[in-house]
Amino acid sequence: MFRIRPKQIHKANRPNLPINPPWKQGGTSTGYNKSSIHLPCARTIYHLRSRSQPRVFPCSGWENIEPSFLVEEETIPSYKPDKFYPVRIGEVFNHRYQVVGKLGYGSTATVWLCRDLLGHCYVALKVYINSTSISQEIEVYNHLKSIQSKHAGQSCLRPLIETFQVRNPHGHRDHTCLVHPALGISLDQLTPLLPGKVMSSSMVRTTLRNILAALDFLHTEAQVIHTDIQPNNILLGIKDTSILSSFEEAEIEAPIPRKSLPDRTIYVSRPLPISFGTPVLCDLGEGRLGIDSQQGDIMPDIYRAPEVILNMTWDNKVDIWNVGMVIWDLFEHRHLFRARIDEGRLDDGQHLAEMQAVLGRPPSQFLARSERSPQFWDAKGQWKGAVPVPDYDLETLEERLEDGEKEDFLRFLRRMLCWLPEERATAKELLFDPWLMHGLFK
């Protein structure tokens, strides 16, 4: 059974600038041109009575990318240029946010580092495509803002500063913009920079304490389900904000490569350095108000909980399943589930077969909750799917740990990876798990 609309884990959301990007490969024959295109400087649209005045960014001096090469958001299969707002470095949004550089992109938005000319700080500006409605996301953020709480997990969530609309200069459609505090790189960007390209046990523990604290706040006090926990949505905090001012100065001294087109400029994202701050859970674009009896297709494809695959109702325990998936990704060298057949297509049968190899046979009461169960199991709960159940288990897949430490880690993981959602531990229970607390009081 193929999934009609697979959700992708956007690895390229905030990419590091490659040492040898595609437009440079093969020498000058690729059409890459180091000469500069002289375009009008980004104009200051608004004049503010403030100590922070908009800066003037270079009008030339950058490396030009041949128009035939696809850059950043242009590589997205669904990309349509008229849907994206043509942001320019130096542009001022909403009378106060001056764009100083591109942080990343995705299928529905581009993300930019901006100077807040009134607040005298840096912020992240997310500019959505004009066909995307984010009323649900804004509703969740407004709900969180209304909660008066001293819960420590609230500080582990990135808040929304404000939202506004901007009119597309080439049409009559509006784009929604969200303003967030500026943060560092994502865990998805961090892990390739680490020894072995995976986190140590102590790094995973530190990260999880913050994410589980954030989830405990969302589930218990806010009554919100995140539904989209993945390494790309966990960003490092910034202890030293000089990395942001250095980011801005780098754009002035050595402008980032870009492709100049008649109606827009496609910029290459400028990577941020490692910031060593506290991990923060971000992006509530798929968040849901209410923690019980939800329905619908959610979660990144390979992270989907079994109840989501089988079209059951679901609750906040999908977030707990997500955390288990993230732990494995951060700690191991491969995803726990591939969930794809040989052709590379996402396949529910393959996904469920891999789950059975890792979790064992699902309980009969779980299978009874879905009309799809007979497609994969017979009346006695025996697997009958077209894809055979793989010949491995969780113990054989985990290769980094030994003896007691491995046993303790897998026991912790099994508290999250259960067929029955009600058997999964809560975020608060997991915070006090012996494996997670190991070394905390030394």
276 vs 286 pLDDT, higher one: 286
CA distances (Å), 123 to each of 57, 160, 183, 210, 273, in order?
A: 18, 10, 8, 22, 16
- Give 3-state DSSP helix, strand, coil % of the chain, rounded to 5: 30, 15, 50
CB 156 within 8 A of CB 211: yes
- Kindly give the interhelix angle for 317-331 and 403-414, rounded to the nearest 10 degrees: 150
Looking at residue 145, its pLDDT comes to: 95
Q: Which one-letter amino acid corresponds to residue 368? A: A
Task: Using the predicted structure, report yes or no on whether residue 185 has a pLDDT greater than 50.
Answer: yes
Kindly provide the b/e burial profile for residues 327-341, where b requires at least 16 CB atoms within 10 angstroms of the residue's own CB.
bbbbbeeeebbebbe
Q: What would the pLDDT profile of 364-377 be if each residue is shown by its tens digit?
A: 999 999 999 999 99
Average confidence (pLDDT) over 125-131? 95
Strands 121-128 and 97-105, how do they pair? unpaired
Task: Using the predicted structure, report yes or no on whether residue 33 has a pLDDT greater than 80.
Answer: no
Q: How confident is the model at residue 408 (pLDDT cuts 50, 70, 90)?
A: very high
What is the longest distance spanned by two Cα atoms in the chain?
Answer: 74
- Kindly give the interhelix angle for 317-331 and 201-216, rounded to the nearest 10 degrees: 160
Task: Using the predicted structure, report yes or no on whether residue 442 has a pLDDT greater than 60.
Answer: no
Strands 258-260 and 265-267, how do they pair? antiparallel
146 vs 41 pLDDT, higher one: 146
Classified as helix, coil or strand, 43 is coil
Q: Which strands, in side-by-side order, build the sheet including 97-105? A: 92-93, 97-105, 109-116, 121-128, 174-181, 162-167
Q: Which residues pair with 68 in a beta bridge?
A: none
CA distances (Å), 20 to each of 27, 72, 227, 276, in order?
A: 10, 15, 36, 27
Whether 228 is catalytic is yes
CA distance 414 to 371: 26
HSE-up (13 A, CA, CB side) for residue 377 = 22
- pTM for the structure as a whole: 0.88
Average confidence (pLDDT) over 185-201? 94
CA distance 260 to 48: 29
184 vs 26 pLDDT, higher one: 184
- For residue 299, give both structure tokens: 């979660």
Q: Which of 228, 319, 329, 433 is catalytic?
A: 228
Looking at residue 292, its pLDDT comes to: 85
CA distance 124 to 103: 8
Task: Using the predicted structure, report yes or no on whether residue 21 has a pLDDT greater than 80.
Answer: no
Tokens 């437009």 appear where?
23
Q: Which of 41-45, 317-321, 437-441 has the lowest mean pLDDT?
A: 41-45
Q: What is the mean pLDDT of the chain?
A: 89
Task: Using the predicted structure, report yes or no on whether residue 4 has a pLDDT greater than 50.
Answer: no
Looking at residue 344, its pLDDT comes to: 84
Average confidence (pLDDT) over 303-325? 98
Task: Using the predicted structure, report yes or no on whether residue 396 has a pLDDT greater than 90.
Answer: yes
Tokens 């993981």 appear where?
413
Q: Where would I find the H helices in 304-419?
A: 306-309, 317-331, 348-359, 364-367, 394-397, 403-414
Q: How confident is the model at residue 441 (pLDDT cuts 50, 70, 90)?
A: low
146, burial (CB in 10 Å: exposed 0-12, middle 13-18, buried 19+): exposed
Strands 92-93 and 97-105, how do they pair? antiparallel
Best CA proximity match to 279, nearest among 200, 212, 355, 353: 212
Q: What would the pLDDT profile of 204-254 be if each residue is shown by its tens digit?
A: 999 999 999 999 999 999 999 999 999 999 999 999 999 999 999 999 999
Q: Please calculate the CA angle 409-411-412 and round it to the nearest 5 degrees.
A: 65
Share of the chain above pLDDT 70, in %: 88
Average confidence (pLDDT) over 274-284? 94
CA distance 26 to 31: 9
Q: How confident is the model at residue 394 (pLDDT cuts 50, 70, 90)?
A: very high
Residue 126 assigned to a binding site = yes
Looking at residue 107, its pLDDT comes to: 92
Q: How confident is the model at residue 291 (pLDDT cuts 50, 70, 90)?
A: confident
Looking at residue 24, its pLDDT comes to: 64
- The total number of residues shown for the chain amounts to 442
Looking at residue 22, its pLDDT comes to: 63
Looking at residue 416, its pLDDT comes to: 98
